[in-house]
Amino acid sequence: MNLHRQRLEAALRGEIIDRPPVALWRHFPVDDQTPESLAAATLHWQAAYGWDLVKVTPASSFCLKDWGAEDVWEGAAEGTRRYTKRIISAPGDWATLKVLDANSPHLAAQLKCLRILRERLPASEPLIQTIFSPMSQAKNLAGGERLILHLRQHPQLVQRGLAIIAETTRRFIKAAIETGIDGIFFAVQHAQAGLLTKGEFATFGRAYDLPVLEAANPLWFNMAHLHGHNVYFDAVADYPVQVLNWHDRDTAPDLAEGQKRFSGITCGGMRRETLALGSPAEIRAEIEDALSQTGGKRFLLGTGCVVETIAPHGNLDTVSQS
């Protein structure tokens, strides 16, 4: 019996049907350059492991190429690409960004990928699309160090650019909803003490995240991903999402504490380095500890970030059979 959606719905109610839901996701380098090949790779991944949800993971540049950004695949184990052309150089460049419609070529290509996936996946297998926060997109448009420099020296110009990015993202989400997705995976990368102060994150991160998330309100299974170390957990714990995912094995809070501070489903439990380099026994130990912390309720077994492309089949199969 196909229980994928039922497991997630039960988790939202604080219940368990037969086991907690399980899902892993990864990048598909090279395959992520066309909608057809990304859809095919995603379908193959799902057919191999039968995760309880299907997260679509395009290259981070999918939402930036219509502004002119360029990147290249160089073999990173994470599956990410290196940016070779940034769009923002001088502070004044933020004011040159224009709002993109969802029918812009590269955004439209990702919508095509979603339509293919929704047509070929059973309705019982929830589908969620990766959405990068406005600050995450700004980082890739300018470069990480340049973004921080600009927001501290020319805050109003950066805010003007973030508003354009946020509106473009809202339009894409509304178009993605029409393809039949069940939710979004909202990647927040700057809620980290090593990057911004709490006040800076509130001004440049949260202030633009919330309008974007509002566009996803009609969906039933939205997940926020809190990336990195020394994170401002409470700054996103009240985001209007059903699931919160963070690197719980590498930074505070742990799952038990996270469940006290977030009312929805917590997602994590496994270190991605263990999935790539560890043994099945080590993976099972992390799973058992995660279940001990959460009781398996309001819990989605996963990892803190994408699974590396080098993760062996046996380790992934251990998770899918858990």
Pairing of strands 265-270, 223-226: unpaired
CA distances from 179 to 2, 111, 146 (A): 22, 7, 36
Does residue 304 belong to any structural domain of this protein? no
Domain count, the chain: 1
Q: Per-residue pLDDT tens for 105-156?
A: 999 999 999 999 999 999 999 999 999 999 999 999 999 999 999 999 999 9
| Three-class SS state of 126 | coil
Does residue 94 belong to any structural domain of this protein? yes
How many whole angstroms separate alpha carbon 108 and alpha carbon 127? 18
Does residue 123 belong to any structural domain of this protein? yes
How many whole angstroms separate alpha carbon 227 and alpha carbon 233? 10
Q: Per-residue pLDDT tens for 61-109?
A: 999 999 999 999 999 999 999 999 999 999 999 999 999 999 999 999 9
Q: Residue 307: pLDDT above 90?
A: yes
pLDDT band, very low/low/confident/very high, at 1 (cuts 50, 70, 90): low
Residue 294 sits at the vertex; the CA angle it makes with 291 and 295, to the nearest 5 degrees, is 65
pTM recorded for the entire structure: 0.98
Burial 247-263 (b: 16+ CB within 10 A, else e): bbbebebbbeebbeebe
Does residue 180 belong to any structural domain of this protein? yes
> What is the residue-wise DSSP string for 26-65?
B--TTGGGSHHHHHHHHHHHHHHH--SSEEE---GGGGTG
Range of the domain at 138: 4-250
Q: Which residues contact 27 (CB under 8 A, 6 or more apart)?
A: 57, 59, 78, 79, 80, 306, 309
CATH number at residue 224: 3.20.20.210
pLDDT at 2: 85
Peptide bond into 218 cis (omega under 30): no
Does residue 34 belong to any structural domain of this protein? yes
Does residue 175 belong to any structural domain of this protein? yes
Q: Per-residue pLDDT tens for 168-190?
A: 999 999 999 999 999 999 999 99
How many whole angstroms separate alpha carbon 20 and alpha carbon 319? 12
pLDDT (average), residues 299-304: 97
Q: Per-residue pLDDT tens for 192-232?
A: 999 999 999 999 999 999 999 999 999 999 999 999 999 99
Does residue 217 belong to any structural domain of this protein? yes
Phi/psi of residue 61, nearest 5 degrees: -80, -5
The tokens of 42 are what?
């995603």
Does residue 271 belong to any structural domain of this protein? no
Q: Per-residue pLDDT tens for 248-282?
A: 999 999 999 999 999 999 999 999 999 999 999 99
Q: Check: CB of residue 304 under 8 Å from CB of residue 250.
A: yes
Q: Which residues contact 156 (CB under 8 A, 6 or more apart)?
A: none
How many whole angstroms separate alpha carbon 206 and alpha carbon 235? 8
> Tokens 């742990």 belong to which residue?
254
